[in-house]
């Protein structure tokens, strides 16, 4: 099958699956319910006093004036939390250091004690009757800091001699992992015709969700049950960590409620100290406690992403075929190792480090380092954009060195379709893939052969035109392959699906409603999807593009289970054997007769006017979305400004449940990847660790006018085999593929001037300076 779905096909209504999102009308008219919209009677407000320095001993902390300030209800420091037995944030894994010594990181307590380790490290908590009163009181807290030298960057740690963030890691190395076969790789390099080499910096990014973090903790009374309202991708994980790991009380004492989320991007996948502090204060005071970050707080306290430095080598034969790959990466984990922070560079990125290529030998070492900066954690793509970017930069470098066509060198190295299932050098098994064929189709869609004419036209306007492409493979599933649902049928015709996955803007409610409606044979408008209540449904939540991939099959299984239970109930109602009952389009019928009962009528006959089932589904393993992204840019040699003028993509997400939603996910991901390529970078002062990009005044993100119309296409000719829908994840794919394509296009435009490398972000000043340096 060679079926390509284009945006035009959807625009002219040629794909019935392209149902418009059910969520949008409510959100567009302002009826969204975000965490900061929540209030409660008797609510008090929480404000955190944060460290203004990157590294210091706290020699004195006096909160007495704050306690006496108007409207203040309570002030807490680490001493209060320690006295009540509050534990540090847990780690998902304690991975040893490369020298075999134990994992090293300062424990992430809810408040700093005698040492602060990054600008924004919370020192004390003020609870007051209003947010303004809490802010005023926080300014009355007197803290004396004995400032210490700071380790301010990955590069400083690599160079050696950087100040130690934590005594157990005097070299600032927290953990490390080695993958592949070093001996086999050494042998491959020994017989190489050529070795391409690059040093690649994947800069630090600040995740900026539309909605900053906010929580409202509502207790039943002092020391009792708490309902925590928040924006979270994984409410069940939050519940488990806060109740058990941090406070040690039964998880039945905590309910997490999530309604609308203004973006997650991995940054809202795990609990933060602020979430736990709100629960602590609510239980302590017996009052509802609310906290929300302002945008400045988010720039210093929300988990940040990327921040890798890699030295990479690619060994190739005379025809450009890959013989082996050697990579050493230093990953900045920040001042404290976050709950899952080290898993991103040490375990997740490596899964796709060889991408769509047949790499016979791999030697990969990843080292997690500590610095006096905001901790890092998963950010859209979580390691895979970094890995694929590195692989694409290396294969482009090899093509340049060998003077080969970048398309041809890829074709010579793609894993063949007849090699599937294929086990890569990391031991990961790709179930399906047809990378070479898809590239050929993408080349036609992008009109690659017509580039010379477009380049000449740009030149006539004094602009340098360049083109670039990137191939990618993505990994989905988060190694959590089971999801549970509850499906309820009501007398009024409503069908409710409860799911433990979490919609955060990706359109899950619509996609799930489509699946259930199709299975039940009823209009999609009758389906309501409910998420975000840990008292009703559990599950791993939404991350690693797993929601539709695992939650979708669970929804279908749940709908079938509802039919099966309904068949039994209908047999009783119609006084027939269950085996004689058929179901079609919302009605149960005795075979061969006209005697039947509607699903809603059947529900009305049950206690409470409804019936329900619980169901779960386990998929067979990960899926591997993949694709090819083509980009053309125009560079103004006088100013260094880069303009994106053409983007064409062909993505394989298996069978898309709703192609319209998939296009939106891919375009959103590409916007974030473009932001990294051209605009975004979190910068710290190299001398003292002060963040220099602490607001939108100095941290630039892409706007609509920075992006051209994107020609996004889907190829569904290679469905996934690891789930019954044939659907692969798509939420992060755009981010994984586009960044390398943009960088390749810029370098192609500048190649005639002698520019061979520019690190991201390719801002106008960097591009202008590279042009001047090359001309000099």
CATH node for 462-476+622-776: 3.30.365.10
Domains of the chain by residue range: 35-77+113-148+213-292, 462-476+622-776, 478-618
Average pLDDT rounded to a whole number, residues 278-289: 97
Q: What is the pLDDT of residue 549?
A: 85
Average pLDDT rounded to a whole number, residues 608-616: 95
Choices 3.30.365.10, 3.50.50.60, 1.10.10.10, 3.40.630.40: CATH for 478-618: 3.30.365.10
Strand partners, 498: 486, 530
Q: Is the pLDDT of residue 391 over 50?
A: yes
Q: Is the pLDDT of residue 11 over 80?
A: no
Exposed/middle/buried for residue 218 (C-beta within 10 Å: 0-12, 13-18, 19+): buried
Architecture of the domain whose range is 35-77+113-148+213-292: Alpha-Beta Complex (3.90)
C-alpha torsion angle, residues 382, 383, 389, 391 (rounded to 10): -150
- Tens of pLDDT along 70-108? 999 999 999 999 999 999 999 999 999 999 999 999 999
Beta strands in 474-577 (DSSP E): 482-490, 495-499, 527-531
The pair phi, psi for residue 608, each rounded to 5°, is 80, 5
Average pLDDT rounded to a whole number, residues 616-620: 91
Residue with tokens 């890092």: 376
CB 254, CB 242: distance < 8 Å: yes
- Tens of pLDDT along 520-559? 999 999 999 999 999 988 877 777 788 888 899 999 999 9
Two structure tokens written together for 759: 């690190």
Confidence of residue 465 (pLDDT cuts 50, 70, 90): very high
Confidence of residue 597 (pLDDT cuts 50, 70, 90): very high
Sign (positive or negative) of CA dihedral 356, 358, 359, 364: positive
Q: Is the pLDDT of residue 370 over 50?
A: yes
Average pLDDT rounded to a whole number, residues 308-335: 98
Q: Is the pLDDT of residue 317 over 70?
A: yes
- Tens of pLDDT along 249-262? 999 999 999 999 98
Q: What is the pLDDT of residue 37?
A: 95
Residue with tokens 């794919």: 733
Average pLDDT rounded to a whole number, residues 50-69: 98
Average pLDDT rounded to a whole number, residues 392-404: 97
Q: What is the pLDDT of residue 1?
A: 45
What is the total residue count of the chain?
A: 776
- Tens of pLDDT along 204-223? 999 999 999 999 999 998 88
- Tens of pLDDT along 287-303? 999 999 999 999 999 99
Angle, helices 384-402 vs 733-750, to 10°: value is 30
Confidence of residue 8 (pLDDT cuts 50, 70, 90): low
40-78 core/surface letters (b: 16 or more CB in 10 A; e: else): beebbbbbbbbbebbbbebeebebeebeebebbbbbbbb
Q: Is the pLDDT of residue 12 over 60?
A: no
Domains 35-77+113-148+213-292 and 462-476+622-776 share a fold: no
Question: Helix, strand or coil for residue 186?
Answer: helix
Residue with tokens 């539309």: 210
Beta strand pairing status for 596-598 and 464-473? Answer: unpaired
Q: What is the pLDDT of residue 9?
A: 65
- Tens of pLDDT along 712-733? 999 999 999 999 999 998 889 9
Q: What is the pLDDT of residue 22?
A: 86
Q: Is the pLDDT of residue 3 over 80?
A: no
How far is residue 535's CA from residue 254's CA, in Å, rounded to a whole number?
9
- pTM of the predicted structure, to 2 decimals: 0.95
Angle, helices 659-678 vs 733-750, to 10°: value is 40
């Amino acid at each position: 099958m060679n079926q390509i779905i284009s945006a035009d096909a959807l625009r002219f209504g040629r794909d019935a699956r392209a149902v418009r999102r059910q969520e949008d009308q409510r959100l567009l008219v302002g009826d969204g319910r975000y965490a900061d919209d929540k209030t409660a009677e008797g609510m008090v407000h929480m404000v955190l006093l944060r460290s203004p320095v990157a590294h210091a001993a706290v020699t004195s902390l006096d909160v007495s004036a704050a306690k006496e300030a108007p409207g203040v209800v309570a002030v807490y420091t680490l001493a209060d939390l320690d006295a009540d037995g509050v534990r540090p944030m847990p780690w998902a894994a304690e991975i040893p250091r490369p020298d075999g010594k134990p994992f090293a990181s300062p424990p992430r307590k809810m408040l700093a004690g005698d040492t602060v380790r990054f600008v924004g490290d919370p020192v004390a908590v003020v609870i007051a009757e209003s947010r303004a009163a809490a802010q005023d009181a926080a300014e009355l807290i007197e803290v004396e800091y004995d400032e210490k030298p700071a380790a301010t960057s990955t590069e400083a740690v690599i160079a050696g001699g950087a100040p130690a963030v934590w005594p157990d890691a005097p070299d600032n190395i927290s953990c490390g992992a080695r993958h592949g076969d070093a001996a086999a790789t050494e042998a491959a390099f020994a017989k190489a015709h050529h070795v391409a080499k690059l040093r690649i910096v994947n800069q630090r990014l600040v995740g900026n969700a539309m909605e900053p973090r906010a929580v409202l903790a509502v207790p039943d009374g002092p020391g009792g049950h708490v309902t925590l309202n928040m924006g979270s991708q994984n409410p069940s994980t939050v519940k488990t960590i806060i109740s058990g790991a941090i406070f040690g009380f039964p998880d039945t004492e905590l309910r997490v409620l999530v309604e609308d989320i203004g973006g997650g991007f991995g940054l809202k996948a795990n609990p933060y100290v602020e979430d736990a502090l709100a629960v602590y204060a609510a239980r302590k005071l017996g009052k509802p406690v609310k906290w929300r970050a302002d945008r400045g707080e988010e720039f210093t306290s929300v988990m940040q992403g990327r921040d890798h430095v890699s030295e990479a080598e690619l060994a190739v034969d005379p025809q450009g075929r890959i013989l082996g790959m050697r990579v050493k990466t230093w990953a900045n984990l920040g001042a404290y190792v976050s709950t899952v922070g080290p898993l991103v560079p040490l375990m997740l990125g490596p899964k796709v480090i060889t991408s769509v290529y047949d790499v016979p030998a791999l030697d990969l070492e990843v080292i997690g380092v500590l610095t006096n900066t905001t901790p890092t954690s998963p950010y859209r793509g979580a390691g895979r954009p970094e890995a694929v970017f590195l692989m694409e930069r290396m294969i482009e470098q090899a093509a340049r060195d060998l003077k080969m066509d970048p398309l041809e060198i890829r074709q010579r190295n793609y894993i063949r379709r007849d090699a599937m299932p294929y086990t890569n050098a990391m031991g990961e098994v790709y179930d399906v893939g047809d990378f070479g064929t898809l590239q050929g189709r993408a080349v036609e869609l992008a009109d690659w052969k017509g580039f010379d004419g477009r380049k000449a036209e740009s030149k006539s306007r004094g602009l340098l035109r360049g083109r670039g492409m990137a191939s990618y493979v993505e990994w989905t599933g988060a190694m959590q392959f089971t999801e549970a649902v509850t499906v309820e049928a009501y007398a009024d015709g409503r069908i409710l699906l409860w799911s433990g996955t979490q919609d955060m803007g990706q359109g899950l409610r619509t996609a799930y409603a489509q699946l259930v409606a199709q299975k039940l044979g009823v209009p999609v408008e009758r389906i309501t999807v409910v998420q975000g209540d840990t008292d009703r449904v559990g599950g791993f939540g939404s991350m690693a593009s797993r929601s539709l991939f695992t939650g979708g099959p669970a929804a279908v299984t749940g709908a079938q289970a509802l039919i099966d239970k309904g068949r039994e109930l209908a047999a009783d109602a119609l006084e027939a054997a269950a085996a004689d009952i058929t179901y079609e389009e919302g009605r149960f019928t005795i075979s061969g007769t006209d005697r039947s009962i509607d699903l809603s009528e059947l529900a009305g006959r049950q206690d409470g006017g409804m019936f329900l089932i619980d169901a779960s589904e386990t998929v067979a393993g990960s899926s591997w979305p993949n694709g090819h992204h083509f980009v053309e840019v125009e560079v103004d040699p006088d100013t260094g400004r880069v303009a994106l003028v053409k983007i064409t993509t062909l993505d394989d997400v298996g069978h898309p449940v709703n192609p319209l939603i998939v296009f939106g996910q891919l375009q959103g991901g590409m916007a974030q990847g473009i932001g990294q390529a051209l605009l975004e970078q979190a910068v710290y002062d190299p001398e003292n660790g002060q963040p220099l990009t602490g607001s939108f005044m100095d941290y630039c993100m892409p706007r609509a006018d920075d992006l051209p119309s994107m020609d996004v296409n889907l190829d569904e000719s290679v469905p996934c085999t690891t789930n019954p829908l044939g659907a692969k994840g798509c939420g992060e794919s755009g981010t994984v593929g586009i960044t390398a394509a943009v960088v390749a296009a810029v370098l192609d435009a500048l190649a005639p001037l002698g520019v061979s490398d520019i690190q991201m972000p390719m801002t106008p000043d960097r591009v202008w300076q590279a042009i001047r340096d090359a001309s000099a």
